[in-house]
C-alpha cells in the first residue's frame, strides 16, 4: 500500500501567521525585526516554509510497458534531497540512491525522484523517508524488488549538541530480491552506496 506523504496529512502553511510568529521570535531573540536587515525576514521565512512544505512533486504515476528480463536492475545515484528534522526544525541533506528490478513496467526516471520529493518536503526523519519511498516505489513499479539507500548530513548534529561535522547517517530499505538475493544485493550496493574519502 502506498504510504501517504506527510505533507498530504497537514493543512497548508498559514503564511501571515508564520510571518507574525517569526517577528515574535526575532523579538524573543533580542533582535529588532524593523531594522534594515530584518524588515522583510518574517515574510521571507513564511514564504520559504510555504514553498517547502506545500511543495507539489507533480505526477508520480508515469510508467512504461517492459518485457521482463530477470536480473537486470535500474539504479539512480547522486540524487540530492533536503528535508527538515522534525525534532529540531533544522535541515538535513540526503544523498540518495534508488534501485529496482522492473517487472512488467518501468517507472519514468524523473518519477523516482518525484516520489522522494513527495516525502522529503516535510518535517521528517531520514529513516521514515527511506522506508516510505521504498514502499511507494514497490507499489508504483509492481514489484517488491526495490532498494533505497540514503546517506544524510544532519545540521542538528553538526551545528548543535555534539557538533560532529563529518558524521553521515546511512539508512537503507531493501525489499524483495534486493534483500534476499545476495548477488543482486551486492551488485546494487557496490554502485549505490556513496564512497566517502
- What domains can be seen in the chain, in order of their start residue? 12-53 (1.10.286.10), 63-192 (3.30.1130.10)
The pLDDT score that the predictor gives to residue 162 is 80
What is the DSSP track for 130-169? HHHHHHHHHHHHT-S-EEEEEEEEEHHHHTSTT--TT--E
Closest among 45, 132, 41, 141 to 81, alpha carbons compared: 132
The pTM of the full predicted model, rounded to 2 decimals, is 0.85
Confirm if 134 and 150 have CB atoms less than 8 A apart: no
Lowest mean pLDDT among 116-120, 168-172, 190-194: 190-194
Give yes or no for residue 143 having a pLDDT over 70.
yes
> Mind listing the pLDDT tens digit for each residue in 43-86?
999 999 999 999 988 877 766 666 665 558 999 999 999 999 99
Give yes or no for residue 22 having a pLDDT over 50.
yes
Mode of pairing for the β-strands spanning 123-124 and 74-85: parallel
Amino acid at each position: 500500500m502506498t504510504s501517504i506523504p506527510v505533507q498530504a496529512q497537514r493543512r497548508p502553511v498559514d503564511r501571515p501567521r508564520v510571518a507574525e510568529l517569526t517577528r515574535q521570535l526575532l523579538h524573543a531573540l533580542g533582535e529588532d525585526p524593523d531594522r534594515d536587515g530584518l524588515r522583510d525576514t518574517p515574510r521571507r521565512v513564511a514564504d520559504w516554509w510555504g514553498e517547502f512544505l506545500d511543495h507539489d512533486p507533480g505526477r508520480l504515476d508515469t510508467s512504461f510497458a517492459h518485457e521482463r528480463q530477470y536480473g537486470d536492475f535500474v539504479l539512480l545515484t547522486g540524487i540530492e534531497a533536503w528535508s527538515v528534522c522534525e525534532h529540531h526544525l533544522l535541515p538535513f541533506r540526503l544523498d540518495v540512491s534508488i534501485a529496482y528490478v522492473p517487472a512488467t513496467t518501468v517507472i519514468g526516471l524523473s518519477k523516482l525522484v518525484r516520489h522522494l520529493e513527495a516525502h522529503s518536503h516535510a518535517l521528517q526523519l531520514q529513516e521514515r523517508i527511506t522506508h516510505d519511498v521504498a514502499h511507494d516505489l514497490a507499489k508504483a513499479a509492481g514489484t517488491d524488488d526495490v532498494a533505497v539507500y540514503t546517506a544524510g548530513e544532519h545540521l542538528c548534529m553538526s551545528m548543535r549538541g555534539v557538533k560532529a561535522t563529518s558524521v553521515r547517517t546511512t539508512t537503507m530499505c531493501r525489499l524483495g530480491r534486493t534483500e534476499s538475493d545476495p548477488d543482486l544485493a551486492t551488485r546494487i550496493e557496490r554502485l549505490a552506496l556513496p564512497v566517502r574519502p
